[in-house]
């Protein structure tokens, strides 16, 4: 059952992403050779009446693609027998049309994430955790350092805190078991910073800072809409913080997870539809964000090439772009292998 749920979640996110590229390519009048879910050997394929695109499901369900005319020279060469008009090729479309085709996948992922968060809020209601301390344990590190109920967490390690998600993100980046600087604003608007060392729990062998905050429960259409908007912004912001921490070295490769890690989370969440909805929304927003990073092989890398073309006033060689994207793809596959090996070792 976990495997089925895993493939459904992954398949939905991939389909929504690729459908974004596909629908904008079709609207722009670009010839689409293939629409594929997965890579490797073909399991199923079909064509619709009066539609030249071949729709496929392939063996390895860890991605997908939309093969368009004028996007990749090798793909065009493989389909050289097909007569395609010049105005049906991607590189002959306007800057705006090409831009929209490239970002449409990530846009769809964001929309899916927001819709799922809204549905979750509508069905189950919303629990909004604030940054105001409430019911903090008296034997916890924060209380012993000087924190009191009613105090507001304003900074962690000097970084401004606006939401509870900010608190979770900055504590995660700080590293398990490490001391952390937490700035609190009391009822008199006086700020004090405390250097806190977390305590190791004997029950689950995890470290706790003794942080407990006020939680507000809401129900209704407007609350669900507000929750979806606020949660999307919060998740998106946390992606910036995490990626920045990876580049600065505050987070290492051990903090990343691949398909095996996602499978483990699905396994732990499968008993709760609410958790599965949140996980799918989170992964969809995550994938949308990652794809917009201006790195070769990502959609953001293709957008970067497009912007460079616009600035220099001439097209970049398809061979040059394909070579750079191939190097980026090899790097990403290498990283994926390392992360997967790490995830497998963590299972034992």
Per the prediction, the chain carries an average pLDDT of: 88
pLDDT score, position 25:
96
pLDDT at 13 over 90: yes
Cα 134 to Cα 130, 147, 152, 179, 310: the distances in Å are 10, 10, 10, 22, 54
Q: Which among 18, 71, 88, 321 is annotated as catalytic?
A: 18
The verdict on whether 54 is a catalytic residue reads no
Which residue in the block uniquely carries the two structure tokens 């590190």?
Answer: 141
pLDDT at 251 over 70: no
Can you tell me the mean pLDDT for 164-186?
89
Give residue 331's pLDDT band: very low, low, confident or very high (50, 70, 90): confident
In the chain the first and final C-alpha atoms are separated, in Å, by 21
What's the CA dihedral at 318, 323, 325, 327 to 10 degrees?
180
pLDDT at 273 over 90: no
CA angle 187, 190, 194 (to 5 degrees): 105
Structural domains in the chain, sorted by start? 2-121+282-346 (no CATH), 127-218 (2.30.42.10)
Say which range, 18-22, 60-64, 225-229, has the weakest mean pLDDT. 60-64
DSSP labels for 252-320? -GGG---HHHHHHHHHHHTT-HHHHHHHHHHHHHHHHHHHTSSSTTSHHHHHHHHHHHHHHTSPPPHHH
Can you tell me the mean pLDDT for 156-179?
88
pLDDT at 156 over 80: yes
pLDDT score, position 284:
94
pLDDT at 236 over 80: yes
Give residue 281's pLDDT band: very low, low, confident or very high (50, 70, 90): very high
**Strand ranges, E, within 157-212:** 159-160, 180-185, 191-196, 199-200, 207-208
Which residue in the block uniquely carries the two structure tokens 């690729």?
Answer: 18
Cα 120 to Cα 147, 211, 273: the distances in Å are 34, 26, 9
pLDDT at 203 over 80: yes
The string of pLDDT tens digits covering residues 64-91 is 999 999 888 888 888 888 889 999 999 8
Chain centroid to Cα 247, Å, comes to 17
């Amino acid at each position: 059952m976990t495997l089925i749920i895993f493939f459904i979640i992954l398949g939905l996110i991939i389909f929504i992403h690729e459908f974004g590229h596909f629908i904008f390519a079709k609207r722009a009048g670009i010839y689409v050779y293939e629409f594929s879910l997965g890579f490797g050997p073909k399991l199923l394929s079909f064509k619709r009446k009066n539609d030249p695109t071949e729709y496929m499901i392939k063996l390895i369900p860890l991605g997908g693609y939309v093969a368009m005319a004028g996007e990749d020279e090798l793909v065009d060469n493989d389909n050289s027998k097909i007569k395609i008009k010049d105005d049906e090729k991607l590189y002959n479309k306007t800057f705006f049309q090409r831009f929209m085709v490239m970002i449409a996948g990530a846009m769809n992922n964001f929309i899916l994430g927001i819709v799922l968060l809204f549905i979750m809020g509508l069905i189950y209601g919303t629990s909004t955790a604030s940054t105001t301390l409430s019911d903090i344990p008296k034997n916890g590190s924060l209380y012993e350092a000087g924190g009191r109920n009613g105090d507001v967490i304003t900074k962690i390690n000097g970084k401004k805190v606006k939401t509870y998600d900010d608190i979770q993100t900055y504590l995660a980046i700080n590293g398990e078991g490490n001391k952390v600087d937490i700035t609190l604003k009391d009822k008199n608007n006086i700020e004090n910073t405390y250097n806190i060392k977390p305590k190791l729990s004997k029950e689950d062998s995890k470290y706790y800072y003794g942080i407990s905050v006020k939680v507000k429960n809401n129900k209704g259409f407007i609350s669900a809409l507000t929750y979806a908007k606020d949660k999307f912004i919060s998740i998106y912001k946390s992606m910036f913080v995490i990626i920045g921490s990876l580049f600065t070295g505050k987070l290492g490769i051990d903090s990343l997870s691949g398909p095996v890690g996602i499978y483990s989370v699905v396994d732990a969440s499968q008993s709760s539809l609410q958790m599965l909805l949140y996980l799918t929304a989170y992964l969809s927003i995550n994938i949308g964000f990652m794809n917009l990073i201006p790195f070769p092989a990502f959609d953001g890398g293709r957008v970067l090439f497009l912007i460079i073309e616009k600035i220099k006033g001439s097209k970049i060689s398809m061979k040059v772009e394909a070579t750079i994207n191939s190097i980026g793809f090899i790097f990403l596959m290498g990283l994926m292998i390392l992360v997967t090996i790490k995830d497998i070792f963590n299972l034992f």
